[in-house]
Structure 1
Amino acid sequence: MRPQMLTTVLRAAARPTLAATRVAPALTRPASGHAQETFEQFTDRYVSFFQNAEDLFEVQRGLNNCFAHDLVPAPTVIEAAVRAARRVNDYSTAVRIFEGIKEKVENKQQYQAYLDELKGLRQELGISIKEELYGSS
């Protein structure tokens, strides 16, 4: 075979055909390769995360990730987050956690239910909510 002809054959072999680049519908996968996480798994993951958070950056990063999900975290997650904020000595983050809950819930009754559930924690750690600090808003 002539050298020029060999180069042309090699180039053609290296170039995939259109049929070779198509993926059969049966072989496609969903965009996410992860299994759905249950609410209980989500709760356990974030409670553990906040219990092990060692500095303010880690606590705030965890809060950003936790509140980015399309759900309201369980009171146990909120308790772990507030305790973590106080452990790293950041009172303002502890107050802001309650503001985050207020934004995530659907109505005032749900927010009040969280406040009632976490009243003992707030008293124990000396946490006031924004409404108590600055009046109703």
Structure 2
Amino acid sequence: MRSEHSEESFEEFSARYEKEFDGVQDVFELQRNLNNAFAYDLVPSPSVLSAALRAARRVNDFPTAVRVFEGIKAKVENTGQYQQYLDELKPLREELGIALKEDLYPEETN
């Protein structure tokens, strides 16, 4: 049996995960989708992360919202890229009241 698999483009990946996060109804779904999205060899787009952050606040899971940024920090190649994500997502973070771990625990900053 032969199966044809086309590789998913970054745009298709982003659209799929935006839709997944838009449909999140509970913490389990949120965390499962985050684990799956971050398991790929790429950093999710700001639009995917925005959908994830909105889902986290919708299901009232503040800790996971904070951890999304820890995931970004672990996935990017350097601090400049991390800063770009922070800059892009800052208005949404402020709107949703999501703090960064480094703001909550400055003594633990690496």
- With CA pairs under 8 Å and 6+ residues apart, which has the higher RCO, 1 or 2? 2
Corresponding position of 2:8? 37
Q: Distance in 2 between matches of 1:104 and 1:33?
A: 30
Q: List structure 1 runs of 4+ shifted beyond 2 angstroms.
A: none
Q: Distance in 1 between matches of 2:4 and 2:39?
A: 20
Q: How big is each residue's C-alpha offset from its partner over 1:22-48, in whole Å with a ceiling of 9 and x where there is no partner?
A: xxxxxx85xx74210000000000000
Q: Where in structure 1 are there 5+ consecutive unaligned residues?
A: 1-27
The correspondence of residues 79-98 of structure 1 with structure 2, limited to 5 A, is 79-98=50-69
Q: Does 1:52 pair with 2:26?
A: no
Q: How many residues align?
A: 108
Q: Distance in 1 between matches of 2:99 and 2:9?
A: 32
The correspondence of residues 1-137 of structure 1 with structure 2, limited to 5 A, is 33-135=4-106, 136-137=109-110
Matched-pair identity in %: 63
Cα displacement (A) at 1:90: 0.5
Q: Where in structure 2 are there 5+ consecutive unaligned residues?
A: none
Q: How big is each residue's C-alpha offset from its partner over 1:46-69, in whole Å with a ceiling of 9 and x where there is no partner?
A: 000000011100000000000000
Larger Rg: 1
Q: What amino acid sits opposite 2:33 in the alignment?
A: G
Secondary structure in 1 matching 2:34: helix
Secondary structure in 2 matching 1:118: helix
